[in-house]
Amino acid sequence: MKSTRYRLVNILTLSVICISISLSGEEAESEYDCASAEQYYQRALSHPNENNFRRSFNYKQLLKAAECSAKQGNASRAISQYQFIVELDNNTAGAWSELVFLQMQQVVATLKGLISNSPPRTEQERAIFSQMMSLVEAYGEPNSKENQQTKQDSGNPIILDNTENLWQTITRNLTWIEQNEIPDTEAEIQHYLSDPNYFDTIGKRADRFLGFIISEIRSRDLPIELALVPIVESSLDSRAISPQRAAGLWQIMPATARQYGLTKNRWYDERFDIRISTELALKHFQALNEEFDGNWLLTLAAYNSGSARMQKLLSEDNINNNKWMEVIPNETHQYITRIFALSSILVNPQKFGVKLPQINPLDAFVRVQTNGRIELPLAARLADMKLSTLRSYNPGYLRWAIPRRGYQELLMPPEKADLFTSILSELPQEKRMSGETYEVAYGDSMSKIADKLEVKVSELRSINNVRRNMIKAGEKLLIPGTSYQPD
């Protein structure tokens, strides 16, 4: 009986020794590949308590497995692996800091998701978000040369730096101009330089929208060059309409809007909505890029000219020989060339004598719920904003008030949101829509109506958001000066 017990003890001892040798597995190589590191982690995970001498674990292998998971984008698995290492030995170099950093990234990712749906509106909420971002920046990225090289070489999403000008965020991530030479780029550079005020105008508009657009592009891991598309399409004019009836920042055609099920009626047009149009445009770019086998220049051409038209023009021969630029419409060729012209100017503005205006890297608007209808001129006064400025943030509203059904919210600068919300909360419902209206009759024109009401035509157009003479019998126009006047 005693000898049997000794034999069992010897067998168990040998088993523990074998497991220990297997797990320590000291190799002559100082580097491990991801596959072998993952296999080692699985073996260690199966026998975490069978080794009384935990320092005999090969921590380099375990750290490599966690590092590989992080690089592959599997943050949850990397966190589990770093937690396992810390539980084995809390003094393992790098494991604890990597664990905290990854957990902080998950917290901030969750926070950003909440903010995209319900942005911070008060100073306190914005301060909390700023502190969270500062914590992540404080932990920083891993400092090894290998990780720094990986960061430079990989196509990781762009992280907006609060201290960085948005133009710098774009230029340091441009890649197309390094990989392609597009004929006639120089001519389009001169086109942009011919207007000395062009970049000042773009800068004022970009301050409102570009941070949001870049954030959306970053969240989808798309090329940063797409941030230049609304500059080429609409000069960042959120209310732009083309002769072909394309609308908004991204100049979305009616057919594309129908394809994606966007709402368009007399009161609201989602093609103008800054958030919805950006989401649709990027979704459309992703679909086109998949259709054209990942070729972003063909994708760009298809966005401008239409997918069906491009498919008819292209052949396997002109794609393989890169001659497709010779067969596309002149307008589409110019469209692509202007993206490259803008890229060239932004990369080296000093060379072209351009001074780029500073642009706020943070989103320049927040969403505020109105909880019911309100006249837009009144909303502008409550927020201490010009009506034209409020409309530029909310170009989807086509008339003089928020519609009875559907969207009942406004976008506005963060510094205006608190003022608007506090005053609106005390405003009686009956005063939100108290303005007098005029019903358009057959044969009416804006000038005739203005004469009847003894108001300026320009004021009548502005308050009712009427372009040219686009009115129809039966619709109602808000009469200037009749809305509730807050103290």
- Phi, psi values for residue 165, rounded to 5°: -65, 140
Which SS3 state, helix, strand or coil, does residue 445 take?
Answer: coil
Question: Phi, psi at residue 409, to the nearest 5°?
Answer: -155, 160
DSSP of 348-381, one letter per residue? -GGGGT--PPP--SS---EEEE-SS--BHHHHHH
CB 81 within 8 A of CB 69: yes
Beta bridge partners of 448: none
Q: Taking Cα atoms as reference points, which of 236, 227, 233, 234 lies closest to residue 343? A: 227
In terms of residues, how long is the chain?
Answer: 487
283: number of Cβ within 10 Å: 12
Give the count of alpha carbons within 13 A of 115, CB side only. Answer: 26
**Catalytic residue of the set 233, 279, 409, 430:** 233
User: Read out DSSP for 144-157?
Assistant: -HHHHHHHHHS-PP
CA of residue 186 relative to chain centroid, distance: 30
Backbone angles phi, psi at 59, to 5 degrees: -70, -25
Q: Measured on CA atoms in the order 242, 246, 247, 248, is the torsion positive or negative?
A: negative
DSSP string computed for 380-397: HHHTT--HHHHHHH-TTB
Task: Give strand pairing partners of 368.
Answer: 410
Q: Catalytic residue at 415?
A: no
Phi, psi values for residue 320, rounded to 5°: -65, -35
Task: State the chain's maximal CA–CA distance in angstroms.
Answer: 116
Q: Do 271 and 262 touch, CB atoms closer than 8 A? A: yes
Active site residues: 233
